[in-house]
Amino acid sequence: MSSSVSRRLFLSTAAAGVATRFLRAQDARFSTDVRVVNVLATVRDSKGRIVSDLDKNDFMLAEDGRPQTIQYFSRETNLPLTLGLLVDTSGSMRRQIPEERTATRQFIEKVLREEQDQTFLIHFDHDTELLQDLTNSKTKLEKALDELELPRDQRPQLNRRGGGGGGYPGGNGPYPGTAGGRRGGAGTTLYDAVFLAGDELMRKRQGRKALVLMSDGVDEGSKESLTSAIESAQRADTLVYTILYEGDNQAIPFGRGGGLGGRRRGGRFPQAQRERPDGRKVMQQIARETGGGFFEVKNKTSIDDVYDRIEEELRNQYNLGFSPDKGGPSGFRRINVTVKPKGMTVQTREGYYPGS
């Protein structure tokens, strides 16, 4: 993303129109005929340990139930990686932010290879903000991590990072559809963050791509849906690793507008409160459908432990390439990857969109 594109990634009606025109221009570079599809896969044995010594003949791959010939095969330990870090800084995650910051800094130090990898950092609460664009500089990423903060509702305007005034695009005034560049009230724009990371940052990149999403999994206020967020990652060929924290209000019914509380009626909470989404299921679905992994920070599993497991997966992936049948459906095509050795499971994305 060039410096002329706003570092503030907020979905409003006008901003979405600008993004759509931008992406259409990008899509013109790609053929609608998919010639080669690359699938990253992680294999584990019956005890959950990563298996890293399989070869091409151990794998079987099918598209929409039709067996495919694996034409390209490699163990991806050194291929350049584009990594996006998405951090929930909403009110329900207030206590986790210091821990997230420290663990993420350690993860970057271990995983990012400055000579070939690139990383960006997004935080989301009322809306979604790119704190650091794609970079291979650990120094810049650490500085951006220091800026992780809770939303300040009364701040009149948040200028875009990296200089210049706030605005979309180019830093010229408030963001369309916002009051002074930021929406008021509580909220967690989780779906918007995933959508924008895939659509505006990952889709134009080549090679291995992954997002690490830290949240309690509850979205409140996104303009995008869970379905469109997942589709954005799928179209960008991006794995999403989700890390579930139990937010401060995880077990408490949610009121209208994203806030806590609300009056009881006859001893019960209003319907809107009782229909609060299950954050665990949301995070599991995002990981499963994009081919990433789901992890949970709880009593005996720290964020450091989770990051160690994600690092291990990223360093022990298989890359399978095949040429799909011509004339197949233009919509989503399902992929099924299995291995011949018994007792092993394969973790990979559920499918792809031709021409994405």
Is residue 222 situated within a structural domain? yes
pLDDT reading at 179 higher than 90:
no
Q: What percent of the chain has pLDDT over 70?
A: 70
**How much of the chain is in helix, strand and coil states, percent to nearest 5?**
30, 25, 45
Q: What percent of the chain has pLDDT over 90?
A: 52
- Rounded to whole angstroms, the Cα distance separating 175 from 172 reads 8
CB-CB contact of 246 with 218 (8 Å): no
Is residue 8 situated within a structural domain? no
Most confident of 94-103, 180-189, 268-277, 279-288: 279-288
pLDDT reading at 125 higher than 50:
yes
Is residue 288 situated within a structural domain? yes
Counting Cα atoms < 13 Å in the Cβ hemisphere of 145 gives: 22
Q: Is 130 helix (H, G, I), strand (E, B) or coil?
A: strand
For 145-175, write each residue's pLDDT tens digit: 998 875 554 333 333 344 333 333 333 222 2
Per DSSP, 4 falls in state: T
CB-CB contact of 325 with 74 (8 Å): no
Q: Which pLDDT does position 246 carry in this prediction?
A: 76
Q: Which pLDDT does position 171 carry in this prediction?
A: 31
Question: Residue 201, exposed/middle/buried by CB under 10 A (0-12, 13-18, 19+)?
Answer: buried
Average pLDDT over residues 261-284: 57
Is residue 339 situated within a structural domain? no
Average pLDDT over residues 73-102: 87
Q: Which pLDDT does position 46 carry in this prediction?
A: 95
- Rounded to whole angstroms, the Cα distance separating 339 from 344 reads 7
For residues 267 and 310, the model is more confident at 310
H-helix segments, the chain: 13-27, 97-111, 138-145, 190-196, 226-235, 271-274, 279-290, 303-314
pLDDT reading at 261 higher than 50:
no
pLDDT reading at 58 higher than 60:
yes
Listed range (15-24, 110-119, 204-213, 344-353) with the worst mean pLDDT: 15-24
The residue among 225, 190, 228, 227 whose CA lies nearest residue 211 is 190
Question: What phi, psi does 213 have (nearest 5°)?
Answer: -110, 120
Q: How confident is the model at residue 114 (pLDDT cuts 50, 70, 90)?
A: confident
pLDDT reading at 83 higher than 90:
yes
pTM for the model = 0.76
Is residue 131 situated within a structural domain? yes
Is residue 133 situated within a structural domain? yes
pLDDT reading at 27 higher than 50:
no
Q: How confident is the model at residue 30 (pLDDT cuts 50, 70, 90)?
A: very low
Residues counted in the chain? 356
- Rounded to whole angstroms, the Cα distance separating 68 from 325 reads 8
Tokens of 320: 């399978």
pLDDT reading at 215 higher than 60:
yes
Tally the domains of the chain. Answer: 1
Q: How confident is the model at residue 248 (pLDDT cuts 50, 70, 90)?
A: low
Q: 239-244 and 294-296: which strand pairing?
A: parallel
The neighbour count for residue 356, using CB atoms within 10 Å, is: 16
- Rounded to whole angstroms, the Cα distance separating 231 from 285 reads 12
For residues 301 and 44, the model is more confident at 44
Q: Which pLDDT does position 356 carry in this prediction?
A: 66
Is residue 73 situated within a structural domain? no
Q: Which residues contact 53 (CB under 8 A, 6 or more apart)?
A: none
Q: How confident is the model at residue 79 (pLDDT cuts 50, 70, 90)?
A: confident
Degrees (nearest 5) of the Cα angle 202, 165, 128?
Answer: 35
- Rounded to whole angstroms, the Cα distance separating 211 from 86 reads 7
Tokens of 304: 């450091």
List, in sequence order, every residue forming a beta bridge with 35; answer none if it has no partner. none
Q: How confident is the model at residue 56 (pLDDT cuts 50, 70, 90)?
A: very high
pLDDT reading at 339 higher than 70:
yes
For residues 249 and 69, the model is more confident at 69
CATH number of the domain at 189, please: 3.40.50.410
- The whole domain housing 199 covers 78-152+185-249+284-315
pLDDT reading at 180 higher than 50:
no
- Rounded to whole angstroms, the Cα distance separating 257 from 183 reads 12
Per DSSP, 8 falls in state: B
pLDDT reading at 254 higher than 90:
no
- Rounded to whole angstroms, the Cα distance separating 119 from 81 reads 8
Question: Residue 199, exposed/middle/buried by CB under 10 A (0-12, 13-18, 19+)?
Answer: buried
Is residue 6 situated within a structural domain? no
Average pLDDT over residues 313-334: 87
- Rounded to whole angstroms, the Cα distance separating 6 from 101 reads 24
The mean pLDDT value of the chain amounts to 77
